[in-house]
Amino acid sequence: MLDNLNARDGSGDAGRERPRRASEQAQPLSDREVPLGGTATSEMINRWLDGEAPEPVAVSAESARQVDLWRRIEEESERRRHMVTPAHVKAQIMAALPADAPQIALPWWKKSIQVSPVVALAAAAGLVALGAAIGNSMRLR
Amino acid sequence: MKTTVPASPTDQLEVDQDIISRVLAGNRDAFSVLINRYSDPLYRHALGMTGSPDVAEDILQMSFIKAYQHLAEVRGRFDAWVFRIVANGCKDWLKNIRRTHLSYDEDDQPSGYSTPDEELDRTELRSDLDKALMTLAPSLREAFVMKHVEGRSYEEMADLLGTTVGALKMRVHRAREALQALLEEKYA
């Protein structure tokens, strides 16, 4: 005969539950500690840090320590939030700027082009040759 | 009675555009107005991302010079445009530092921590927080620094980074989780 190991179906030791520890019985339901999964930051703490909820009231020693840790990190973040650029840096930036004014970016069709006389002559000769070739081909038809 | 009304984003945009026009017309000194207005949040971003004041100063300087050279290309908000230049500068620096610091441990820090005076000035938590931040992936560190150190809203972050509020919340939460895992043994 196989033992029924699944006592939850009610067919085994009916109505028998795991006996509660004394500490569980002493605490009200809302105060029972919900273990955090691994090192996950609890939803409560995230909501507090996101400004969506007030600072959580510590319900366990572990969560109290986590809240305290984040309070300290927030204090340090607050200190860093007031840091300003060292004065010499602004002067350094101004001194390092190029002397010329920034170039205004023009679309390609508005940009001027420079062509040397040799290039202009070569382009003209090319166009004449192209025109002659087209004329010849039309005459042949 | 005269009251001071804070400049709206539209006003700010117009003022910035006016300054940019003056700079493009040859008034080089007008650029200092933009530096004074925007350098502090940008410096905090670079410092938070690199952990080194020297590197943050270099990135800030290079970014403003680049912004000056390409000022004619600004379309829309100058602050968002220059933020992207700084953010990219930080990411490029992090890529290079990772290439040279393949195994990053407590004795293997970027140059900013190394002087004795700076070490004395920092409390243990400051130092540990910096070390912990350096172990985060750049995208998580960026989100954490923008949220916690720069004090930006998720909406503002989404606007600057071109992503969604949900994605940024996820990054910040993951960064917190990682930081907590690194720091809680000692502090919690």
Residue B81: give its domain's CATH number.
1.10.1740.10
B75-101 mean pLDDT = 88
Q: By the 8 A CB rule, do B60 and B42 touch? A: yes
**How deeply is B45 buried, as exposed, middle or buried, from its count of CB atoms within 10 A (0-12, 13-18, 19+)?**
buried
Contact A65 B172 (CB under 8 A): no
Residue of B nearest to A100 (CA): B26
Q: How far apart are CA B21 and CA A11, in angstroms?
A: 85
Copy the structure tokens of residue A84: 């300003």
Of B121, B153, B175, the last residue of a domain is B121
The complex's ipTM works out to 0.77
Interface A–B counts its CB contacts (< 8 A) at 117
Stated pTM of the model: 0.69
Specify the range with the lowest mean pLDDT, choosing from A69-73, B77-81, B86-90, B123-127.
Answer: B123-127
Q: What is the CATH number of the domain that holds B128?
A: 1.10.10.10
Cα(A43)–Cα(A49) distance, rounded to whole angstroms?
A: 10
pLDDT above 50 for A17: no
What's at B60, amino acid-wise? L
Residue of A77, A78, A103, A110 to mutate for B, most B C-beta atoms under 10 A: A77
**Contact between B45 and B94 (Cβ < 8 Å):** no
- C-alpha–C-alpha distance, residues B171 and B179, integer Å: 12
Question: Are B163 and B80 contained in the same domain?
Answer: no
Q: What is the pLDDT of residues A58-108, one digit of tens each?
A: 668 888 888 989 999 999 999 999 999 999 999 999 999 998 888 776 667
Is the residue at B1 inside a domain?
no
Are B34 and B117 in a shared domain? yes
Query: Domain limits at B174?
Result: 123-188
In chain A, which residue's Cα lies nearest the Cα of B132? Answer: A73
Same domain, B42 and B134: no
Residue A55 DSSP one-character state: P
Residue B50 near residue B90, CB atoms below 8 Å: yes
Q: Which residues of B touch A65 (CB under 8 A)?
A: 184, 187-188
| Angle at alpha carbon of residue B149, lines to B147 and B150, rounded to 5° | 70
Number of domains in chain B: 2
Judgement on whether residues B155 and B184 belong to the same structural domain of the protein: yes
Cβ distance B129 to A50 less than 8 Å, yes or no, reads no
Mean pLDDT (whole number) for A40-47: 82
3-state secondary structure of B56: helix
Closest residue by Cα to residue B71 from B8, B25, B12 = B25
